Amino acid sequence: MILRPQPGADESAERARRQGLDTRVAPLFVVSPIPWDKPDPRLFDAVVMTSANAARHGGRHLAGLSHLPCYAVGEATEAAARGAGFETIRTGPSDGISLVAQVAHDDVKTALHLCGRHHGRLVHPAVTLVEIPVYESRAAGQMPEAADAALREGALALLHSSRAAATFAKLCRQPRGPIALAAISEAAAAAAGSGWRHVAVAPEPRDDSLLELAAKLCQTDRE
C-alpha cells in the first residue's frame, strides 16, 4: 500500500506493478502550491529540486530561474523541471543527500533549494543552500478508506518519509499487531513507533530500494 502524495504515489505504484506487486494507492497527503517571492537569480549558481512537486507547483517564478543549471533528484523530477522550462538539468540519485554531494562535486558554491514546507534539511560543508518552500503537503484528517480496506486485507504499508510514518501511526485505528511496515529510512521507521508486526528498512533511501524491499517481504509472506 502506497501512502505518498500524488503524483508520486501513482509513479511508485507503476514501478511496484512492474515487480508483480498487487498495489493499492491511498495518499495521506494533498500537495498544493504556496506563495513565494523569487529571489535575485544572480545570487545563485544553480537550482536544486529534491521533489518533482517543486517544479509542478513552483508557478510563474520558475521562468526567471530557468536559465540556471537545475539539479534534480530522479527522472520524475528531471521531467517536471524540463516541463517547467529548465534546459540544463543534471539528474542525480534518488535522494537529496547524494544529490547535494554531486552539486558540491561540480563546484557549485551557492544553490537555491526549491522545496516543500515540510522537508528534510540538506547540508553540505562546501555548498550554501538557500531554501525556499514553494509547495506544501497537507496531511489527511483521517485514514483514507482505501488504506483501511487494504490494511484489513493484510497489506504491507510503505512509508516514504518520517512525516508519512508519523501521520500513518497517528491515523491508524486498527490494532498494530497484525500490520507490517516497510520504511524508506531508519528515521521513518523510528517515526512510526512500536507495536507493529514487523518494521523493515530499505537499504538505501530511494523509492526503488523501498519497492525492492516490499517485493521481498511480500514474497516471504507467501512462502
- pLDDT per residue over 59-72, tens digit each? 999 999 999 999 99
Residue listed under C-alpha cell 523541471: 81
Of 175, 160, 121, 168, nearest to 140 by C-alpha is 168
pLDDT the model gives residue 129: 97
Average pLDDT over residues 107-133: 94
pLDDT classification of 92: cutoffs 50, 70, 90: confident
Of 170, 180, 191, nearest to 1 by C-alpha is 180
Tell me the pLDDT tens digit for each residue of 202-212.
Answer: 998 888 899 99
Phi-psi region of 107 (alpha: psi -120 to 50; beta: other; left: phi over 0): left
User: For the chain, which domains are there?
Assistant: 8-30+139-222 (3.40.50), 38-136 (3.40.50.10090)
Phi first, then psi: give them for residue 200, nearest 5 degrees: -110, 150
Report how far apart, in Å, the C-alpha atoms of 40 and of each of 45, 61, 85, 123 are: 11, 11, 18, 22
**d(Cα 23, Cα 25) in Å, to the nearest integer?**
7
pTM of the model: 0.81
- For the chain, the distance separating the N- and C-terminal CA atoms, rounded to the nearest angstrom, is 20
Phi first, then psi: give them for residue 116, nearest 5 degrees: -90, 165
pLDDT at 95 over 90: no
Tell me the pLDDT tens digit for each residue of 30-82.
Answer: 999 999 999 999 999 999 999 999 999 999 999 999 999 999 998 889 999 99
Cell of 46: 544553480
pLDDT at 128 over 90: yes
